[in-house]
C-alpha cells in the first residue's frame, strides 16, 4: 500500500485524525511523512500511533479493529503512554532484542480478554489487562525477574483480599439494615450509595435493600 500523503513510498504506519463530529479518520503513511506529522501535525489534530507492524504484516486472521473475544470493552490502537517511552522504553527495547538474540521466537499469542499480543508486551513492557498476567505468566516471569531480581511480591497488601464483590455486597446489605434499624440515616445514606455503586460495577441482579428510610 502506498503512503496516503506522498503517494510515493510504501505505507509503514498509521496516523489518526479526530474530525469533530465525524470520528476518527485513519491515514496509512510512510515513515518520513509520519515523522513530519509527528513534529507538526499536533496543531492539526493528527496523532501518530506507534504501530510496531505495518498493516500488511498483521498475522493472518487478526483484525486490528476487533478484539478476538468480541468483548464490550472494545479494542483501540495501542499507543504507549509517555512514561513507557521515556523511562522504560529504552530498557525494554534492549530486553526484547536480548530475547530475540537468544533465539526466542516472536510469539503471536494474544490475550483472549483484551487482545494484547505477547510480542507487544515484550517490546514495550506494557500489559493489556489484569488477565494478561495469568495468560502470559510464564513468558513474563523472566522479564519480571530481570527487572526486580526476584520473582514474587515481597511487599505488603492493604487489606486481606475480599473473597468477592458479592460478599462485600452482602456485608453492606447487613450493615445497611443495621443502620436503618438504629435510625442512623446519614450512615444509611452512605452505605446505600456504596451498595448501589458496587452493585452496578458487578453488573449483577442483586436486589437492592428496600425500605423507606428517609432522604
Partner 1 sequence: MALKDDLTPMPTERGQICLCAQFAFVRNLEGMPFPDRMSDAARRRRSKEVIKRLQACALNFLDLTDELEAFNTHLHVMLLTAPESRLPGYALLYLAKPEGVEAPLWCEVMGANHLAFSVIASARQLSPADYDRLAEQLQRFVDRLEPVLNFARTEQLGYLTRQLTLTGSGFRLRVWLHLAGLMHFDHLRELENAANFSELRIDTNNDTGTQTPPGALCILFNGRSLRYNAVEETRTLQRFLGSIIRQERNARERVLVEEPYVLLDIVSRLQATLRVALMITPDELSDCLSDFHLAWDLGVISPKHRPRSLPPMMTALTFDDNHLSEPICRDLLERAYLPEAVRSFPPWFKAAARATWMRNNLDFSLSRDFKRRAMR
- Residue 84 grid coordinates: 513507557
The interface region with partner 1, picked from 50-58, 85-93, 100-108, 204-212 by CB under 8 A, is 85-93
Q: Which one of the spans 2-10, 97-105, 111-119, 176-184 is the region binding partner 1 (CB under 8 A)? A: 111-119
DSSP class of 55: G
Distance CA(215)–CA(205), nearest Å, equals 24
Choose between 10 and 146: whose C-beta lies nearer to partner 1.
146
Query: CB of residue 125 vs Zn ion: minimum separation in angstroms?
Result: 14
Helix, strand or coil, per DSSP, at residue 13? strand
Q: Is 199 in the site for partner 1 (CB under 8 A)?
A: no
Smallest gap from residue 85 Cβ to partner 1 (A):
8
Q: How far apart are CA 127 and CA 103, in angstroms?
A: 23
Q: Which of 103, 157, 205, 207 binds partner 1 (CB under 8 A)?
A: 157
Residue 86 interacts, among Zn ion, partner 1, none and using kind-specific CB cut-offs from 5 to 8 Å, with partner 1
CB-wise, 1 or 94, nearer to partner 1?
94
Exposed, middle or buried: residue 190 (CB in 10 Å: 0-12, 13-18, 19+)?
middle
Q: Give Cα separations from 179 to 171, 208, 212 (angstroms).
A: 12, 15, 13
Position 43 contacts partner 1 (CB under 8 A): yes
> According to CB under 8 A, which one of 125, 135, 176, 179 is a site residue for partner 1?
125
Residue 30 found at the interface with Zn ion (CB under 5 A)? yes
Q: Report how far residue 171's alpha carbon sits from residue 166's, in angstroms, rounded to the nearest whole number.
A: 9
Contact (CB, 8 A) for 114 and 131:
yes
**Residue 13: C-alpha distances to residues 19, 27, 74, 119, 185 (Å):** 19, 8, 21, 17, 58
Interface residues toward Zn ion, by CB under 5 A: 3, 5-6, 9, 30, 33, 111, 113-114, 116, 128-129, 131-132
Interface residues toward partner 1, by CB under 8 A: 40, 42-43, 71-76, 78-79, 81-84, 86-88, 90, 113-116, 121, 125-130, 133-134, 140, 143-144, 147-159, 161-162, 165, 168, 190, 193-194, 196-198, 200-201
Amino acid at each position: 500500500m502506498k503512503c496516503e500523503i506522498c503517494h510515493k513510498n510504501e505505507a509503514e504506519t498509521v496516523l489518526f485524525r479526530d474530525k469533530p463530529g465525524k470520528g476518527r479518520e485513519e491515514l496509512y503513511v510512510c515513515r518520513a511523512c509520519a515523522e513530519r506529522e509527528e513534529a507538526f501535525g499536533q496543531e492539526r489534530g493528527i496523532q501518530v500511533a506507534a504501530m510496531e507492524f505495518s498493516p500488511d504484516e498483521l498475522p493472518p486472521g487478526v483484525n486490528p479493529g476487533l478484539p478476538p473475544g468480541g468483548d464490550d470493552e472494545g479494542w483501540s490502537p495501542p499507543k504507549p503512554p509517555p512514561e513507557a517511552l521515556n523511562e522504560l522504553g529504552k530498557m525494554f527495547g534492549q530486553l526484547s532484542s536480548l530475547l530475540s538474540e537468544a533465539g526466542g521466537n516472536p510469539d503471536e499469542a494474544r490475550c483472549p480478554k483484551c487482545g494484547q499480543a505477547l510480542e507487544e508486551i515484550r517490546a514495550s513492557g506494557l500489559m493489556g489487562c489484569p488477565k494478561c498476567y495469568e495468560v502470559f505468566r510464564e513468558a513474563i516471569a523472566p522479564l519480571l525477574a530481570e527487572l526486580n531480581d526476584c520473582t514474587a511480591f515481597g511487599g505488603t497488601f492493604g487489606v486481606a483480599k475480599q473473597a468477592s464483590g458479592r460478599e462485600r455486597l452482602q456485608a453492606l446489605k447487613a450493615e445497611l439494615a443495621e443502620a436503618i434499624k438504629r435510625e442512623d440515616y446519614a450512615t444509611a445514606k452512605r452505605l446505600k450509595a456504596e451498595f448501589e455503586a458496587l452493585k452496578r460495577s458487578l453488573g449483577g441482579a442483586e436486589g437492592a435493600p428496600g425500605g423507606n428510610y428517609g432522604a
